[in-house]
């Protein structure tokens, strides 16, 4: 049985969300879609978020965060208030809410802005990949839990990240692999270091 997934996205990226949902119908991906498909009929933001937490996020296990051109922290709290709260609720581990695995899917428009190639490290002399996951590309709830704790090393290894990151094109090739990776993070030691409300 598939993981229960909630898709967090900006309206501009709705096509990608609908594409993932079509894979469920075609059995390309083994997941149960827990996403919000119709807007909640209210102007009360607190009510909207409570309904999302209770009706959609509370029994999901993986949150798929679509990272597009409008997903940056630098766009301001008001612009990002819903996706920020969705990620906070996904990261929270408490009564009636277990922490979700977080899968960030980088949409093609952001490839060049996030994937910057490699560089030679001044500390170890090895090549590292420069992945620009920061306030100019993602909300803080994602980027602070992607670069979570290097444990004193000169670069971040997979075990030093809670969030999983993948390009859309790679996700399309094997969505189950990346959803499983995000799900598995929940039981790894790095989960104890998650920051729900990053500063």
141 neighbors 88 (Cβ within 8 angstroms): yes
How much is the pLDDT for 1? 59
Q: Does the structure show a pLDDT above 80 at 70?
A: yes
**pLDDT per residue over 153-179, tens digit each?**
999 999 999 999 999 999 999 999 999
- pTM of the predicted structure, to 2 decimals: 0.93
Q: How far apart are CA 175 and CA 17, in angstroms?
A: 13
Calculate mean pLDDT across residues 120-142: 95
How much is the pLDDT for 158? 92
How much is the pLDDT for 29? 84
Q: How far apart are CA 8 and CA 21, in angstroms?
A: 13
How much is the pLDDT for 2? 81
Q: How far apart are CA 56 and CA 11, in angstroms?
A: 18
Which domains are delineated in the chain? Answer: 3-193 (3.40.50)
Higher-scoring residue by pLDDT: 34, 199: 199
What confidence tier does 42 reach under pLDDT thresholds 50, 70, 90? confident
Q: Does the structure show a pLDDT above 90 at 147?
A: yes
Q: Does the structure show a pLDDT above 70 at 50?
A: yes
Helices (H), 7-123: 14-25, 45-52, 77-91, 111-114
Percent of the chain predicted with pLDDT > 70: 97
How much is the pLDDT for 133? 97
């Amino acid at each position: 049985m598939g993981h229960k997934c909630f898709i967090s996205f900006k309206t501009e990226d709705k096509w990608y969300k609908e594409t993932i949902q079509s894979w469920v119908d075609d059995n390309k991906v083994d997941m149960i879609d827990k996403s919000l498909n119709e807007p909640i009929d209210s102007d009360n933001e607190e009510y909207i978020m409570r309904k999302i937490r209770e009706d959609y996020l509370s029994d999901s296990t993986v949150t798929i965060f679509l990272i597009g051109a409008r997903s940056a922290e630098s766009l301001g709290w008001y612009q990002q208030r819903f996706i920020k709260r969705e990620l906070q609720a996904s990261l929270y581990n408490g009564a009636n809410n277990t922490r979700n695995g977080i899968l960030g899917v980088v949409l093609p428009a952001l490839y060049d802005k996030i994937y910057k190639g490699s560089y030679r490290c001044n500390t170890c002399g090895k090549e590292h990949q420069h992945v620009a996951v920061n306030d100019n590309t993602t909300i803080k709830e994602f980027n602070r839990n992607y670069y979570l704790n290097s444990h004193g090393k000169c670069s971040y290894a997979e075990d030093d990240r809670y969030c999983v990151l993948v390009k859309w094109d790679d996700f399309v090739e094997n969505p189950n692999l990346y959803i499983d990776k995000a799900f598995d993070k929940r039981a790894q030691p790095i989960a104890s270091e998650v920051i729900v409300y990053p500063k």
